[in-house]
Amino acid sequence: MSFMYKIGAIILLLAISNRSVAQEKNSPILKGVIEVSIQDGTIDCEFSIEEMPIIKNSLLLINTGFNIEYIRNIEDEHSFYYERVHADSIAYESFGYYIPNKTGRRVNRSLRFKYTGKFPVVRDTTRPASMDWKGNIAFNGYSLRMDGLQSGWYPVLYDIDNDKSYNKVRCDIEVVCKDCNAIYLNGQAPVLGTAAHFKNNNPLELLLYAGNYKVKNIGNTYFLNTGMADKLLKEFGNITDQYKRYYEDQTLIHYRDDITYIQTSPVSIDNAWLFVSYPTIVNVGRGENEMKESFTGESSKWARSFIAHELAHYYFGFYKSTNSPVGDVICEGFAEYLALTAVRKFDGDDIYKAALGSKLNRVEKFKPIPFAQIGSEQDYKSRELYVYNYAPIILCAIEKEIGRDAMWKWIRLILNSKEDMTNYTFMKHTLTQAVFDKEKLQKVITLYMESDMSLDNAREVLQ
């Protein structure tokens, strides 16, 4: 590494540090008490949400399963008249609450809430109607799982005009669960017992996992309810650190927190998936889809690519929030592209080519429109095929044309841009800054980002 490169890296890291401070100052703070019962499926919340930025047109998102007792001013002097909307495009799981006034849908800078809810405790998952998903408030008989992005268990400020959710918050809350033996709140050490006080000045999505499960700490990584032997946990921790260091070296952005892994059962018979609420990675599944089964033997290399994808979401999803219909392409497409580069780095070209070939096979009959034509989520036709398969294929083809160094420069420009709107214009503008060869740049934009034949063009250059 040259001296000038080191100086540049230091300047960039200082800029990142300053940006993080600015984000913290602009994030709301959640205070109060939540009481839950994993046997009864009940949740009672008495919260205040404070220091919210004043936004002209905004909502507070709260899960539809909660009954609101009151929304009051922060001094607890009077209750507000409020209205609510259910906009599927914003948050399927939540109502949007607001205090109506002449200038639009508004919420005050600080408010107090009290609400309660009772949810199904699904111990029997054999009935066909049972379903589970990331934003579900899931009681499975031995634990409660609530994510911090979709479930809306705490009030989340939403900026309507800029399509921006302030779900990353600071917190000072108490969690009480009298029929639990362990309580975990995202980004903090799990607490053994029936009550825990969590305080954090670093804004995070507040995933909550409470119940009866075992906790292990190996190195700098926590493992909750995984059922893994210590030897496998140590190997798992080493793989995690390996991927993190690789991403840090390429992006010049350090991970802020240690990773926590959670294994939990779905409240359904068929559903199984991984998701991330940084710095927590959650594996939802049973039997052969549990972590201790998926990450051993022949399936381990396949499963490691999923971990690489979820770790990449620190950058695309946490560090850089996205919006607009193309925002999902950026968030998931680049996370999957990063995972493919990690596979190539640590498992070799053959495994990388096999993973890429598998994606090409999945989209063999798919007829996607290019990034430039995406105007709504419906334009994906199939979100699964578009953002997890087509998008990373296109990114791999672009890498083939512009080279790996320019590709990583593009990624760093995207991550460190201060632009609020992550639409196609944003993608094109940052790519223009990364590629100096104008002829090559125009070729990439035309063939892979704007052409109706983009998938065929990518297939040709990759094969």
Q: What is the 3-state secondary structure (H, E, C) of the chain?
A: CCHHHHHHHHHHHHHHHHHHHHHHHCCCEEEEEEEEECCCCEEEEEEEEECCCCCCCEEEEEECCCEEEEEEECCCCCECCCEEECCCCCCCCEEEEEEEECCEEECCCCEEEEEEEECCECCCCCCCCCCCCCCCCEECCCEEEECCCCCCCCCEEEECCCCEEECEEEEEEEEEECCCCEEEECCCCCEECCEEEEEEEEEEECCEEEECCCEEEECCEEEECCCCCHHHHHHHHHHHHHHHHHHHHHHCCCCCCCCEEEEECCCCCCCCEEEEECCEEEEECCHHHCHHHHCCHHHHHHHHHHHHHHHHCCCECCCECCCCCCHHHHHHHHHHHHHHHHHHHHHCHHHHHHHHHHHHHHCCCCCCCCHHHCCCHHHHCCHHHHHHHHHHHHHHHHHHHHCHHHHHHHHHHHHHCCCCCCCHHHHHHHHHHHCCCHHHHHHHHHHHHHCCCHHHHHHHHHC
The answer to whether the peptide bond before residue 279 is cis (omega within 30 degrees of 0) is: yes
Residue 434 has pLDDT above 90, yes or no: yes
Chain position carrying tokens 């903090």:
188
Cα distance between residue 7 and residue 50, in whole Å: 39
pLDDT digits over 248-296, tens only? Answer: 999 999 988 888 999 999 999 888 998 989 899 999 998 888 888 877 6
pLDDT digits over 44-86, tens only? Answer: 999 999 999 988 888 999 999 999 999 999 998 889 999 999 8
If pLDDT is split at 50, 70 and 90, which confidence band does 4 have? Answer: very low
Residue 385 vs residue 6, higher pLDDT? 385
Cα distance between residue 153 and residue 397, in whole Å: 41
**In the predicted model, what is the mean pLDDT of residues 25-47?**
95
Asked whether the beta carbons of 418 and 409 are under 8 A apart, the reply is no
Percent of the chain with pLDDT over 90: 68
**In the predicted model, what is the mean pLDDT of residues 374-382?**
93
pLDDT digits over 142-201, tens only? Answer: 999 999 989 999 999 999 888 889 999 999 999 999 999 999 999 999 999 999 999 999
Percent of the chain with pLDDT over 70: 92
Give pTM, 2 decimals.
Answer: 0.81
If pLDDT is split at 50, 70 and 90, which confidence band does 411 have? Answer: very high
Cα distance between residue 169 and residue 399, in whole Å: 36
Residue 13 has pLDDT above 50, yes or no: no
Which residues is 182 bridged to in the sheet? Answer: 192, 211
Going from the N-terminus, what domains does the chain have, and what CATH number goes with each? 26-212 (2.60.40.1730), 218-312 (no CATH), 327-462 (1.10.390)
Residue 302 vs residue 73, higher pLDDT? 73
pLDDT of residue 356: 94
Which residue from 310, 266, 307, 267 is spatially nearest to 289, judged by alpha carbons? 266
pLDDT of residue 236: 83
pLDDT of residue 315: 96
pLDDT of residue 302: 66
Furthest CA-CA distance within the chain: 68
pLDDT digits over 105-120, tens only? Answer: 777 789 999 999 999 9
Cα distance between residue 220 and residue 226, in whole Å: 16
pLDDT of residue 298: 59
Which residue from 185, 191, 283 is spatially nearest to 236, judged by alpha carbons? 283
Residue 403 has pLDDT above 50, yes or no: yes
Instruction: Supply the mean pLDDT for the chain.
Output: 89
